[in-house]
Amino acid sequence: MSDPTVTDGPTGTGEPGDRWGGSVSAAVPEAGIPPTEPPPPEEGTAGATFVQRGDRIFRFLATGSGAFVVALIGAIGLFLLIQAVPPLLQNNANFLTSRQFEAGDPNNLHFGILDLLLVTVEVSIFALVLAMPVGLGIALFLTQYAPAKVARPFGYLVDLLAAVPSIIFGLWGLFVLAPAIQPFALWLQNTLGWFFLFSPGNVQIAGATVFTAGIVLAVMILPIITAISREVFQRTPRTQIEAALALGATKWEVVRMTVWPFGRAGYVSASMLGLGRALGETIALMIILAATPAIFTGSLFDGGATFASKIALSFAELNNNLSAGAFIAAGLVLFVLTFLVNAAARWVIGRSGAKA
């Protein structure tokens, strides 16, 4: 790994090229080598100026891309902030603790994000709770259990889920899934209604609830979790698996002792990315979730709106900057929330990287 010639090679392609050639010819003053040595330095120097130019261009492009993305995110954050401040200053309700979001009248703004935040978090977490075990199962099946002939097309199939437009998921959720799971939802309410998660909700439209929305979201984030986990599990060193097998481990023990410890961090970060996707999902939730003037009680059978769906519901008809700004302020909170989730995912990945 730390062979000096290899490490020297790349850095030495520039001006040290002839020094290297010289030192070799000095160290090995044999007749056969010097005649063949001089040409490489010439090619080396000619190539070096070329590589340097390419280097500079490539470096510029790469740095530019990196800087561009940072600038873009910064600009988006700044835009959100600039738009959000004026309505926040004129807000007659507490932005963080009020449960009503009344931003239609620019002269009388009353908007608070508490319910939006709670619904967004609850529906996303619920989706994650459903999708994480299933995603893990699919990824393990595809990498460890399924024969290659099945795994490949099956993998494509799961990835295909990611290609279904979210509006289709929304319509499917409301028109097909919601009526189908309604008996189960009612059973949950009747038997576990004493627990706040399953208490009867605050909307009367059958199935237009966090429960249905969460299941749909789970299906939507499944391909993300599966795809990344599959990649990670596939990279489990073959030697470790074989060593475990050689020790007489069963398939399950192989998974538990080698694949899982190796891929756990990747799986968690895949789930975090899925969570980020769930937090920002808009159209499907807009279609499924029923709006309600009642406050959010925390039940899965409540309606309500998430940050993104609330913005989408109102944005088309906004005609003044203050009202729009109020929604942008809500968007800013979502921006921060998503950022935190992704930062957490990064942190998990980074920690596992240090460990490996």
Q: Which residues bind other proteins (CB under 8 A)?
A: 102, 104-105, 174-175, 179, 203-208, 286-287, 290-293, 303, 305, 313-319
Shortest spacing between CB 81 and other proteins, in angstroms: 23
User: In this structure, what is the dihedral angle of CA atoms 336, 337, 342, 343, given to the nearest 10 degrees?
Assistant: 60
311 vs 286: CA distance, rounded Å: 9
The SS3 call for residue 110 is: strand
Helix (H) or strand (E) holding 23: helix 16-27
Residue closer to other proteins, measured from CB, 291 or 349: 291
Q: Which of 120, 125, 81, 116 is nearest to 96 (CA)?
A: 116
Shortest spacing between CB 179 and other proteins, in angstroms: 7
Residue closer to other proteins, measured from CB, 270 or 322: 322
Shortest spacing between CB 314 and other proteins, in angstroms: 5
Residue closer to other proteins, measured from CB, 143 or 309: 309
Shortest spacing between CB 111 and other proteins, in angstroms: 12
- Residue 196 Cα distances to 121, 298, 301, 302, angstroms: 16, 7, 10, 11
Burial, 3: exposed, middle or buried (Cβ in 10 Å; 0-12, 13-18, 19+)?
exposed
Residue closer to other proteins, measured from CB, 203 or 265: 203
Shortest spacing between CB 292 and other proteins, in angstroms: 6
Residue 254 and residue 338 in contact, taking contact as beta carbons nearer than 8 Å? no
CB neighbours of 27 closer than 8 A, spacing ≥ 6?
none
Residue 170 and residue 285 in contact, taking contact as beta carbons nearer than 8 Å? yes
Residue closer to other proteins, measured from CB, 208 or 330: 208
The SS3 call for residue 102 is: strand
Shortest spacing between CB 156 and other proteins, in angstroms: 33
Helix (H) or strand (E) holding 244: helix 238-246
Shortest spacing between CB 160 and other proteins, in angstroms: 27
Residue closer to other proteins, measured from CB, 182 or 240: 182
Q: Which of 294, 298, 122 is nearest to 205 (CA)?
A: 294
Q: How far apart, in Å, do the first and last CA atoms of the chain sit?
A: 18
Shortest spacing between CB 193 and other proteins, in angstroms: 18
Residue closer to other proteins, measured from CB, 24 or 171: 171
Residue closer to other proteins, measured from CB, 146 or 312: 312
Shortest spacing between CB 298 and other proteins, in angstroms: 18
Residues paired with 101 in a beta bridge: 111
254 vs 240: CA distance, rounded Å: 9
Burial, 189: exposed, middle or buried (Cβ in 10 Å; 0-12, 13-18, 19+)?
middle
Residue closer to other proteins, measured from CB, 52 or 108: 108
